[in-house]
A and B are shown apart, each in its own frame.
Chain A
Amino acid sequence: MAPVTRKNVLRDQKSLNDYVRGVGLLKQRPSGRYTSEFNIPGPMEPISLYDIFVLWHILTGDSAIPPGGDPMRRNQAHRGPTFLPWHRRMLNLFEANLRFVLNDSAFALPYWDWTADGDSGSPFDAPVWRPGCMGGQGDPVSSGPFAFHANDPNTFSVHIETDAAGNPSQPDRPRGLVRDFGRSEPDGWPTLPTSGDMKAALTYRPSGPHPKPEDGYDTLTYDVDSDGFRSRVEGWLPASRPWMHNQVHMWVGGDMVPMSSPNDPVFYLHHCNVDRIWEARIERYDGRVYAPDMTAPADPYLGIRIDDQLGPPAAAGDTPRRMLGWVSSEHYVYDTLP
C-alpha cells in the first residue's frame, strides 16, 4: 500500500473535514462494551468506539511497569521509554478506525504544529481554535464542530472521565467538552512550547564521557527521572518546569488535564505532532535507535525493552522495535519534518 501523508491541519482542509466527520462517526458507533464491565460507578451505559480509546489511555496510564510497581514512576505509556512507541501505536489504531468509518483508505491524521502558536505568543484565537477548525475554549466549548448543544442528541459530549484519584468514572449526565487555555501556574501553564524549545529537545546530546548512540533516546533508570530525548519531548526535563508534550496538555487545560485527555479531539492532533517530532529526531539526528535493548534485565524492565510487548491488545504483537520502523514508505510520512 502506498504511504499516506499526515499534513498540517491548517494547510489541508480535506483532512480537517474528514477528521471532524470521522470523530463524529466513531462517537456514534458502539464498541459492544458497557461501563459496568469496567466497574465505572453509575448507570450501565454503552461505550462508543471513540470512548474505548479514552478508557484505554486511562487504564494504561495506571498500569505500572514492572507490574505492582509505581505507575507514577513508569507506566505502560508514560514516564518511560515506551511513551513514544505506545502513542505511535495508539495513533495508528485510531487512524485505522477513522479510515473504516470514513470508508477512505487514504485518510491520514492531521497534526497541530503548536510551536507555531508558541512562537506567536500563544494566542487564544490562533487559527487552530477558530470555529472552522477545532473551536475555541469554554465550559462547555461553544464554538466549532465539538461545541455542546444540550438539546441535540447527537451533540459532541463527554461520557468517560476520571475522578481525583485517576480512576475511570462517568459524569452525572453526558456533558460538553471543556477547554481552559493558558491558566497560570500551578493550575496550568501560560504559554505553548516554541520552536526554540523544540530545537533544544531535537538537538539534545548526552553529556557523559563515552555516550552510546541510544543514550540520546533514554538512559537508566528509564523512568520519569531519566534523561534523554524521550523525557525532554514528553516534558519532564529540565526539571524546573513543564515542557513540550506536558506543557501543551497544561496550556489547553480542561479535558486535556486528566488521563482521559483523548476526550478532546485535539489530543490526536497534538500527539500526531509529538510523533512527527520523534520522526524528525530519528531522521535528522539519531537514526532508528531506542533504549533499553534486550540486555536490560527483565526485572524490572520487562515491558519497556525494544522487543517486549507494548501492553494490550496482546494479539497485535506490537513492540517498540516495530513502532520504530512504522513510519516508512509502507505506512505514513509527514508533509514536513521540523
Chain B
Amino acid sequence: MASATGPEKTEAVAATESLGSELAESVRPRGETPPAPAPSVSTARHEGHEIMVTTTYEVVVDGRPVTARLHVDDSGMVSSPGLPYHRFASALDAVRVLVSTYPGDFRGGT
C-alpha cells in the first residue's frame, strides 16, 4: 500500500499534466482553416459488385450555412459530432436538436 504522499499519487497528477501538454501539441495550429464538412462514405459488396454511396448534407439555417456536419451510417441513420450519443431517422430532426441544444450558435431566429 502506497503511503499518503507516495509516488503513485504524484504520478497520477504528472500523467494528467503531461496529457494536457500532449493534447495541446496535437491541436491544429491557429489560423489553419478547419476542414469543410466531409461526406459520408458507405461501401458494400453485392452480387459481385462493389457499391459505394457518398452523401453530403448542405444545411442552411436562417439563410446561413451550418458548419456542423451530418453523418449518415450504413443503416441510413443520421448523426452529428455535436450530438455524439444521438442518432436520427431524419436529418431535419438532427438539425432541430442541434438548434435547441446550441442556441448560442443559431442566433437571429424569429
Contact = CB atoms under 8 A, between A and B. Distances in A.
Given A96-B12, A165-B67, A186-B93, A72 B81 contact: yes
Contacts of A186: 86, 88, 90, 93-94, 96-97
Given A99-B9, A250-B85, A2 B20 contact: no
Given A72-B71, A105-B2, A164-B106, 14 more contacts: A32-B20, A55-B23, A59-B27, A61-B84, A78-B84, A97-B12, A105-B4, A164-B66, A186-B96, A239-B75, A246-B87, A313-B18, A313-B22, A315-B18
B16 interface: yes
Interface of B: 1-6, 8-13, 15-24, 26-28, 30, 34, 38, 40-41, 66-69, 71, 73-75, 77, 79-88, 90, 93-94, 96-98, 100-102, 105-106
A103 B28 CA distance: 37
A73 interface: yes
A242 B88 CA distance: 10
Contacts of A72: 40, 69, 71, 73, 79-81
Interface in A84-99: 93, 96-97, 99
A338 interface: no
Contacts of A261: 85
Given A33-B21, A186-B86, A164 B12 contact: no
Give the residue among B38, B75, B84, B96 with the most A Cβ atoms within 10 A. B84
Contact of A164 (B1, B82, B87, B96): B82
A37 B104 CA distance: 23
Contacts of A283: none
Interface residues of A, number: 58
Contact of B19 (A37, A239, A245, A313): A313
A236 B8 contact: no
A72 B37 CA distance: 12
Contacts of A99: 8-9, 12
Contacts of B17: 31-32
A187 interface: yes
B73 A97 contact: no
Contacts of A1: 1-2, 8
Contacts of B74: 225
Contacts of A250: 85-86
A249 B85 contact: yes
Nearest to A2: B1
15 contacts: A37-B24, A38-B23, A49-B16, A55-B20, A61-B81, A72-B73, A99-B9, A105-B3, A165-B68, A166-B80, A166-B82, A167-B34, A239-B77, A258-B82, A312-B22
B69 A165 contact: yes
Interface in A54-104: 55-56, 59, 61-62, 70-73, 78, 93, 96-97, 99-100, 103-104
B83 A257 contact: yes
Contacts of A165: 34, 67-69, 81-82
A163 B82 contact: yes
A325 to B, nearest CB: 19
Given A105-B9, A239-B75, A257 B85 contact: yes
A100 B10 contact: yes
A235 B88 contact: no
B45 to A, nearest CB: 12
A236 B77 CA distance: 11
A313 B17 CA distance: 10
A259 interface: yes
B66 to A, nearest CB: 7
A192 interface: no
Contacts of A47: 20
Contacts of B34: 165, 167
Contact of B105 (A56, A164, A259): A164
7 closest Cβ pairs, A-B complex: A166-B81, A96-B12, A72-B71, A100-B9, A164-B102, A249-B85, A37-B24
